[in-house]
């Protein structure tokens, strides 16, 4: 891996495209941070334009997207979703199954068709970016367009170990008023700030600190916070020691990359072994 002009994008995608998600980016020259684009709302078209602009001026670009990018199964869940659920269920959370919109009885689930059916916006987005989906290559390549699937809920127990220690996922989605917790919002935003600061993304760290103090965050604020987490995960995947990141699954049936701690990796590794799902293996 050479230290050329590199850019990283975190995209909390719009899934079915009905509403914008959030996007953030960071660009580097060989020896220094050049620019940070603070999180802002973005749909698929806006995200593609930002990616293409960065790709035109940088040797290497990596986008970490919070949405399944390989969904060959018509029904049920992908193997990687089941492994991720092994950790998230311990935190009393859940993983939305990714499939093309069929039930075992053959009934069509329109919401899944809009997200992952043949005409879903995610596939046009992926085709437009023309990025390689090979996690090991995205860690080592010196040039090119690269994409990895990430999942903030999977990353957070590693980014904020208190979440695993207390055995409860962070309830920081303001759209779910019944379950939303302002202390959890602050916990996640402060964790994002801490990791941004460790990565020398000072403007992003300050942005996340300010976000933590919002008295009434909105769903748009959460989308932007998740975009910041996606960006942090992209940088971890590229730059962190190999034992601090993992890739679950493969490029045939679906995969995710995530930061890990020894505790979260042990849970995921055990679940992967039981289900015959690759972990930390070449894609």
Please tell me the least confidently modeled range out of 38-52, 66-80, 104-118, 240-254.
104-118
Question: Is the pLDDT at 30 greater than 90, yes or no?
Answer: no
Residue the block writes with tokens 């311990």: 90
> How far apart (Å, rounded) are the C-alpha atoms in residues 95 and 113?
18
135 vs 64: CA distance, rounded Å: 11
Using alpha carbons, list the distances in angstroms from residue 83 to 65, 233, 276: 19, 18, 10
The whole-model pTM stands at 0.96
Strands 60-65 and 144-149: parallel
CA pair distance 155, 7, nearest whole angstrom: 21
CA distance 72 to 263: 30
* Cα–Cα distance measured from residue 265 to residue 260, given in angstroms and rounded to the nearest whole number: 6
* DSSP character at residue 16: T
Report the pLDDT value the prediction gives residue 283, as an integer from 0 to 100. 65
**Helix or strand run (H / E) with residue 147:** strand 144-149
Strand partners, 33: 28
Q: Distances from the Cα of 117 to the Cαs of 15, 101, 102, 103, in angstroms? A: 11, 7, 10, 13
> Average pLDDT, stretch 139-147?
97
Q: How far is CA 261 from the centre of its chain?
A: 17
Q: What is the distance between the alpha carbons of residues 72 and 253, in angstroms, rounded to a whole number?
A: 6
**What are the C-alpha distances in Å from 4 to residues 57, 222, 225, 268?**
11, 32, 28, 33
The model's confidence at residue 104, banded by pLDDT at 50, 70 and 90, is confident
Burial of 77 (0-12, 13-18, 19+ CB in 10 A): middle
> What percent of the chain shows pLDDT beyond 70?
99
Distance (Å, whole) CA 224 – CA 24: 8
> To the nearest whole number, what is the mean pLDDT of the chain?
95
- Among 15-24, 75-84, 174-183, the range scoring the smallest mean pLDDT is 15-24
Identify the CA nearest to 234 among candidates 268, 199, 261, 188: 199
Distance CA 28, CA 2 (A): 12
pLDDT at 3: 62
Per-residue pLDDT tens over the stretch 159-170:
999 999 999 999
- At residue 250, the pLDDT reads 96
Nearest to 155 by CA among 24, 264, 8, 283: 264
Q: Does the pLDDT value for residue 147 go beyond 50?
A: yes
Take residue 239 and report the two structure tokens written for it: 């730059």
Q: What's the pLDDT band for 1 if we cut at 50, 70, 90? A: very low
> 282 versus 83: which is more confidently predicted?
83
Rg, C-alpha atoms of the chain: 18
Strand locations in 209-253 (E): 245-250
pLDDT of residue 15: 82
The domain locations on the chain are 6-275
Q: What integer is the mean pLDDT of 224-246?
A: 98
Which residues, listed in sequence order, are joined to residue 65 by a DSSP beta bridge? 11, 149
Only one residue has tokens 């590229």, namely 238
Report the pLDDT averaged over residues 256-280. Answer: 98
Name the residue with higher pLDDT: 30 or 130.
130
């Amino acid at each position: 891996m050479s230290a050329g002009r590199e850019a990283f994008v975190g995209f909390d995608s719009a899934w079915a495209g009905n509403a914008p998600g959030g996007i953030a980016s960071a660009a580097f020259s060989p020896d220094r941070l050049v620019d940070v684009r603070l999180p802002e709302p973005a749909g698929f078209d806006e995200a593609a334009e930002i990616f293409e602009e960065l790709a035109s001026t940088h040797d290497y670009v990596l986008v970490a997207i919070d949405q399944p990018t390989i969904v060959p199964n018509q029904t049920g869940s992908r193997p990687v979703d089941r492994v991720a659920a092994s950790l998230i269920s311990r935190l009393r959370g859940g993983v939305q199954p990714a499939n093309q919109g069929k039930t075992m009885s053959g009934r069509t689930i329109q919401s899944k068709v809009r997200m992952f059916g043949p005409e879903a916006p995610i596939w046009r987005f992926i085709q437009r970016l023309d990025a390689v989906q090979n996690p090991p290559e995205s860690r080592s390549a010196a040039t090119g367009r690269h994409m990895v699937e990430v999942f903030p809920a999977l990353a957070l127990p590693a980014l904020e170990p208190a979440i695993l220690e207390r055995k409860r996922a962070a309830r920081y989605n303001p759209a779910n008023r019944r379950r939303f917790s302002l202390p959890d919002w602050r916990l996640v935003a402060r964790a994002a700030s801490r990791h941004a600061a460790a990565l020398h993304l000072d403007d992003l760290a300050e942005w996340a600190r300010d976000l933590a103090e919002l008295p009434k965050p909105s769903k748009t604020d959460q989308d932007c916070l998740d975009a910041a987490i996606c960006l942090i995960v992209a940088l971890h995947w590229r730059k962190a020691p190999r034992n601090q990141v993992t890739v679950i699954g493969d490029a045939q049936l679906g995969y995710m990359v995530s930061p890990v701690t020894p505790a979260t990796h042990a849970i995921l590794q055990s679940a992967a072994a039981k289900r015959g799902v690759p972990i930390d293996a070449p894609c």
